[in-house]
Structure 1
Amino acid sequence: MTTTEPVTTATSDRIARVRLSLVRLPLHAPISDAKVLTGRQKPLTEVALLFAEISTESGHEGLGFSYSKRAGGPALYAHAAEIAPELIGEDPNDIDRLWRKLAWAGASVGRSGLATQAIAAVDIALWDLKARRARLPLAKLLGAHRDSVSCYNTSGGFLSTPVEEMLDNTQRCLERGIGGVKIKVGNPDTTADIRRVEAVREHLGDHVPLMVDANQQWDHATAQRIGRSLERFDLTWIEEPLDAYDTEGHAALAAKLDTPVATGEMLTSFSEHESLVHAGACDFVQPDAPRVGGITPFLRIAALADRHHLSMAPHFAMEIHLHLAATYPRTTWVEHFEWLEPLFNERLELREGRMIVPNRPGLGLSLSDQCRSWTTEETTVRHRPA
């Protein structure tokens, strides 16, 4: 005898409230990479974050964020506040349609950069809401390939960190359960770069993954020369050896070096990543969900990278990228940065070189009291203007 499940009517929900906040997260000490040593930027002292908290008529909630490491935080907040009323009364399930609606609402300022980074906070909140409502971790909602992801630390290896302190930092990372280490290079004194890499490789031994990041500060000749010099250290990748938008240069360099090339973190749209991938400009693609406009465009980039058989290492924001990296079918890494930890009540687990996908619904995050205290501006949208 066969039985059939009773037919029920699906119900939709509506967005009732969008709360936006601008948070300024102070760093413990000023941070310098190659862009500072070459005079292009000042040391980094804080991270500005745009948070979006979305609530529905049925009581479901979602949390998302975007960020800026230097100028741009107030502009992200202002743009998001202008377009957020477009969400009120909408079905939160229709994430792709809502992304496009918000993009058209701000079309006058473009479809990349600040305009889409403001959308990112909302888009991520909608995905978080959807996964929370399904009572699934975001990785499981999207379809995970793994329950943990190889992770490497970056925050302990900035150029502002003396070598001995950097070695101590790498040791603490390994003891915490982090699987690899990335250090900054791109010093105007290229011999200093070689000495730093040599010291870390000797400290780590031959089997711990080691990456370097030049933060776009080499020209073509320097990148090729230093890249060749670094090949004896068996690096997992060389990151951003050239200007982030020098697609042809990255492609030519990747063809000449044995060490894989990684780039993509500074790009702010799907189309920019599409050009990068089609040019063969990298071995590891490094999209950043808050920068490209959220999870919706990130998934398109991931599908493109998969079709081209690329490895992936999403940039920064491990709290988001852990879930997205877990859904990628090929080799993937997640970047460990403890900077954002004070913003949340939860912590991510590290074990045997990997970061564990939390079993909490959605992103598995809630804002801390400390985060609330760092809020400098906030607004709540409950209805659309007449």
Structure 2
Amino acid sequence: MATTTNTTPGTFRTAGEATLDRVAWLRLSSVTLPLATPISDAKVFTGRQRPMTEVAFLFVEIATEQGHEGVGFSYSKRAGGPGQFAHAKEIADQLIGEDPSDIGRIWTKLVWAGASVGRSGLATQAVAAFDIALWDLKAKRAGLPLAKLLGAHRDSVRCYNTSGGFLHAPTEEVLDNAAASLANGIGGIKIKVGHPDGKYDLARLTALREHVGDDVPLMVDANQQWDRPTAQRMGRALEEFGLVWIEEPLDAYDAKGHAALAASLDTPVATGEMLASVAEHVELIRHDAADVIQPDAPRIGGITQFLKLAALAEHHQLQLAPHFAMEIHLHLAAAYPIEPWVEHFDWLEPLFDERIEIRDGRMHVSSRPGLGFTLSDQARAWTVAEHEAGRRP
């Protein structure tokens, strides 16, 4: 007869015959990735933030008694990286001895270990790195790409590029970047808008449409910079471009404003990347605030939470376009029933030895098991802090 030990409210640590393996060791790494060029979007042009010069990553590597391994990560742009690492370090030993298959229960245990700091934001972003590593391990143990373990609906996903269209780049550079992306097999182009002078945004978009032609899917991203009247005026002005979506036209938490805008425009409205929990996304869905939902698995607590949100989004027939971290989101988008989009950023490529295949406008799921990535020597060189728990087999 199986025995149980109550470890946290509402959860039990199993010790029955079904437990075939346990987590023996893990390593946390705080990695700072420098950006070649300081990045500016509307938040910089309106004085809310400084240009972004680096991205902080929290990597979690896990090994089990039976020799199975997994790697996951979370990240923070600008502030927050050291805080994620510090919180992960506090709760890391909670994972030692756990059955790595019990991912949902482990997620709950780790959240309760830091319950006083809440179930969203920095705390659950730290938990996300553990969660993603456990899913990577589970798929590797099965010998399957993560998308196949989850149950893929497709082996490739439509993709669009964002990194070539920031506001700091002159228009000619944006046009050159777009042409290069399309030549490299990327299917769509997104550029940043939200400049203090809206005429500047419209001129750049006009030039881009003329440059790439009428058949290339285009998106714009205002990064929360417009108030409701400005969003309404700009939304109407943007209708003529046939955009796939207008992204974050309003404050990320203005569900009612997004809902009213979405109802008034033909162009779909997309939002969600800045939200830090499933519960916050539920408010968007409850208000019909988005035609396209854009969750970020590391930001909302990992793959376990993302799957919960994806099921709800499908129920409401929403389009899905996960934010950033294509190395994770390719698999999750491939498992979403409604044809999604994945955002292409090449910023993370130096961190990994492998690359994603992109052709014919789509990202392709590889045959590599798990997420399909291993940390590079460069990632090790950019590591600024480490912590280990347990003993490596």
State the alpha-carbon separation in 2 of the partners of residues 187 and 80 from structure 1: 37
Residue 207 of structure 1 corresponds to which residue in structure 2?
215
Residue 98 (structure 1) aligned with residue 85 (structure 2): no
Give the counterpart letter for 2:40 in structure 1: S
Residue 251 of structure 2 corresponds to which residue in structure 1?
243
Q: 2:79 aligns with which of 71, 88, 103?
A: 71
Residue 28 of structure 2 corresponds to which residue in structure 1?
20
State the alpha-carbon separation in 1 of the partners of residues 67 and 151 from structure 2: 25
Please state how far the C-alpha of 1:316 moved relative to its aligned partner: 0.1
Residue 329 of structure 2 corresponds to which residue in structure 1?
321
Q: Deviations over 1:163-188 (max 9, x none)?
A: 00100000000000000000000000
State the alpha-carbon separation in 1 of the partners of residues 227 and 19 from structure 2: 57
Residue 135 (structure 1) aligned with residue 148 (structure 2): no
Q: 2:342 aligns with which of 334, 346, 349?
A: 334
Secondary structure of the residue aligned to 1:378 is strand
Residue 6 of structure 1 corresponds to which residue in structure 2?
none
Q: Deviations over 1:49-73 (max 9, x none)?
A: 0000000000000000000011000
Residue 378 (structure 1) aligned with residue 390 (structure 2): no
State the alpha-carbon separation in 1 of the partners of residues 218 and 178 from structure 2: 10
TM-score normalised by length of structure 1: 0.96
Q: Deviations over 1:342-366 (max 9, x none)?
A: 0000000001000001110000000
Q: Aligned pairs, how many?
A: 375
Please state how far the C-alpha of 1:18 moved relative to its aligned partner: 1.2
State the alpha-carbon separation in 2 of the partners of residues 275 and 229 from structure 1: 28
Residue 318 of structure 2 corresponds to which residue in structure 1?
310
Please state how far the C-alpha of 1:11 moved relative to its aligned partner: 5.6
Equivalence map 1:185-224=2 (5 Å): 185-224=193-232
Please tell me whether the aligned partners of residues 186 and 362 of structure 2 are also in contact (alpha carbons under 8 angstroms). yes
Please state how far the C-alpha of 1:331 moved relative to its aligned partner: 2.4
Equivalence map 1:109-258=2 (5 Å): 109-258=117-266
Superposed CA RMSD:
0.8
Residue 31 (structure 1) aligned with residue 26 (structure 2): no
Q: Percent identity?
A: 71
Secondary structure of the residue aligned to 1:120 is helix
Please tell me whether the aligned partners of residues 19 and 99 of structure 2 are also in contact (alpha carbons under 8 angstroms). no
State the alpha-carbon separation in 1 of the partners of residues 217 and 326 from structure 2: 18
State the alpha-carbon separation in 2 of the partners of residues 78 and 56 from structure 1: 23
Secondary structure of the residue aligned to 2:134 is helix
Structure 2 gaps of 5+ residues are 1-16
Deviation above 3 Å: which 4+ runs of structure 1? none
Residue 297 of structure 2 corresponds to which residue in structure 1?
289
Please tell me whether the aligned partners of residues 26 and 389 of structure 2 are also in contact (alpha carbons under 8 angstroms). yes
Structure 1 gaps of 5+ residues are 1-8
Secondary structure of the residue aligned to 1:50 is strand
Q: Deviations over 1:217-243 (max 9, x none)?
A: 000000000000000000000000000
Residue 357 of structure 1 corresponds to which residue in structure 2?
365
Residue 108 of structure 1 corresponds to which residue in structure 2?
116
State the alpha-carbon separation in 2 of the partners of residues 220 and 57 from structure 1: 55
Equivalence map 1:267-286=2 (5 Å): 267-286=275-294
